[in-house]
Amino acid sequence: MAVKHEHWSSRWAFMLAAVGSAVGLGNIWKFPYEAGSGGGGAFVLIYLFFIFVVGVPVMMAELSLGRRGQMSPIGSMKKIAAEEKRSPLWGLVGWGGVVGAFIVISFYSVIGGWTLAYVVKSAMGFAGMTAEQAGVEFGEFISDPFWPIICHAAFMAITILIVNKGVKGGLEKAVTYLMPALFVMLLILVIYAAVAGDFASAVEFLFYPDFSKVTPDVTINALGQAFFSLSLALGSIMTYGSYLSKDVHLGKSAFTIASADSAVALLAGLAIFPIVFAFNVDPAGGPGLVFVSLPIAFGEMPFGVVVGTLFFALLGVAAITSSISLLEPSVSYLEHSKGIDRKKATLWIGAAAFALGVLSAYSQGGNFLSDIRFFGLDIMGVKDYLTNNIIMPLGGMFTALFVGWFVSRKTMMEELALTDESFRIWYFLVRFIAPVAVTLVFISVTIGF
């Protein structure tokens, strides 16, 4: 119980860690293929709407709850509920986050592993690779019984090592230079794609909304993707908030994190889709999209070996700075609420998530478990659906309801320290807009069935 609760060494360190958590595979691997299967522009528009109108206010809520609670998401939710004389059942919001983060890390690490493998593949060169060959190469890799598991293990091991070292020693150090480097790499790729790819089609695809493509499913995917990309509703941001000191302005921070996060997602889209259209890759091709489209470009461009290797290495780093924030909520729970040694907690949780992740790895391509389907989804798809489309939207909604209706206005004003005007806007968004938006999306999906 009496474990000392560490804090970030500066506001800058916190910002880097939070941006590190937000920017990850969600932006570069998931966003493009979700946008691709969601029909492009309309998905992007709805996604951005959810990021700024629902995501930012919920992020402010999570940061303030974490900072006020100074515990794991479960501990903080229970503690604040008690302070406000509300039901301890609010702790369930924390539980949803911790369990959700555990499910996500189990498959996130598998994709992280694919990224590591592609560092090596890029270093060996993709020269002259056609779209078809790129597809075959990826398909063979994920269908292999051995390598995806080794890479998944490597990715999880790195995550465990960093989380082991704690807030200052581990989390902070990893992010300082590597996030800006990734940003620069993405810019280079966008410039290359603009020159060598079909940039006009990509821009039209991403920014010209065709509202006939909007279905309830597209809408809930955009909502889940917005939460996922901002690392919301899984306890990660709340846990990072608990390592914050009082002098950090939560509103500005949330807005900056969301802007950086969306910028990276859009840049990823602008790097990938020009190649997708120039080489006739299927934009709705699903989780393999980045791994199939970019190697074609790396094979053709000057210095493709260098650019490709660096790109996947930095993507790997971005994934690690996110995966540590996915492991952190459960570790923080065991450490701060159960008094278990941090190192032990990290190892146990990491090992369990690895084991659960093996099932996801084997559900891909033509691998052992790829025939197991639930409602047409493979095992990885089920975990993604459960977290992205159910746990995260519900978690976000209950967080908004909690701060909007069950925590006193005074407490929230104190934590957020906004001007009256800004507070009123925030309050309106968490009390009405966020819960109503999520409810409407849920209703439309249910009726859509």
**Stretch binding ligand PHE (CB under 6 A), from 12-20, 22-30, 181-189, 286-294:** 22-30
Closest CA to 45 of 159, 214, 190, 186: 214
Q: Who contacts 146 (Cβ-Cβ below 8 Å, separation ≥6)?
A: none
State which of positions 158-217 bind ligand PHE (CB under 6 A). none
Residue with tokens 């807009």: 433
Q: Does 25 bind ligand PHE (CB under 6 A)?
A: yes
Nearer to ligand PHE, 356 or 417 (CB): 356
Q: Determine if 289 is a binding residue for ligand PHE (CB under 6 A).
A: no
Q: Does 364 bind ligand PHE (CB under 6 A)?
A: no
DSSP string, 175-209: HTTHHHHHHHHHHHHHHHHHHHS-HHHHHHHHHS-
Shortest Cβ 327–ligand PHE spacing (Å): 9
Please, what's the b/e burial string for 188-225 (b: 16 or more CB within 10 A of its CB; e: otherwise)? ebbebbbeebbbeebbebbeebeeeebebebbbbbbbb
Phi-psi category of 233—alpha, beta or left, where left has phi over 0 and alpha has psi -120 to 50? left
Question: How many residues sit in the footprint of ligand PHE (CB under 6 A)?
Answer: 16
∠ at Cα 29 (381, 322), nearest 5°?
A: 90
Among 14, 17, 27, 43, binds ligand PHE (CB under 6 A): 27
Instruction: Look up residue 229 and give its two tokens.
Output: 């990309």
If binding is defined by CB under 6 A, does position 219 make contact with ligand PHE? no
Contact 157, 235 (CB under 8 A): no
The span from the CA of 253 to the CA of 279, in Å, is 40
Q: Which stretch binds ligand PHE (CB under 6 A): 231-239, 294-302, 332-340, 420-428?
A: 231-239
Closest CB to ligand PHE belongs to which residue?
26
If binding is defined by CB under 6 A, does position 115 make contact with ligand PHE? no
Place of tokens 């300082």: 176
* Binding of ligand PHE by 72 (CB under 6 A): no
By beta-carbon proximity to ligand PHE, the closer residue of 35 and 301 is 35
Answer yes or no whether residue 322 interacts with ligand PHE by CB under 6 A: yes
CB of 59 to ligand PHE, least distance (A): 11
Q: Residue 392's closest CA among 265, 232, 220? A: 232
CA distance 107 to 99: 13
Q: How far is the CB of 366 from ligand PHE (least distance, A)?
A: 26
332 in contact with ligand PHE (CB under 6 A)? no
Q: How far is the CB of 33 from ligand PHE (least distance, A)?
A: 13
Candidate list 76, 115, 236, 363; residue touching ligand PHE; CB under 6 A: 236
Exactly one of 326, 345, 401, 445 binds ligand PHE (CB under 6 A); that residue is: 326
x/- mask, ligand PHE, residues 394-413, rule CB under 6 A, reads: --------------------
325 lines the binding site for ligand PHE (CB under 6 A): yes
Does 21 help bind ligand PHE (rule: CB under 6 A)?
Answer: yes
Judge contact between 275 and 281, C-beta under 8 A.
Answer: yes
How far is residue 377's CA from residue 388's CA, in Å, rounded to a whole number?
14
Query: Is 228 one of the binding residues for ligand PHE (CB under 6 A)?
Result: yes
The Cβ-side half-sphere exposure at 112, using a 13 Å CA radius, reads: 28
User: How far apart are alpha carbons 184 and 167 in whole angstroms?
Assistant: 26
Whether the CB-CB separation of 156 and 357 falls below 8 Å is answered with: yes
Decide if residue 106 touches ligand PHE (CB under 6 A): no
CB half-sphere exposure, 338, CA atoms < 13 A: 13
* Candidate segments 179-187, 211-219, 223-231, 302-310, binder of ligand PHE by CB under 6 A: 223-231
The residue within the footprint of ligand PHE, chosen from 159, 231, 242, 363 (CB under 6 A), is 231
Please report whether residue 22 would count as binding ligand PHE according to CB under 6 A: yes
Work out whether 381 is an interface residue with ligand PHE (CB under 6 A).
no
The residue ranges that bind ligand PHE (CB under 6 A) are 21-22, 24-27, 101, 104, 228-229, 231, 234, 236, 322, 325-326
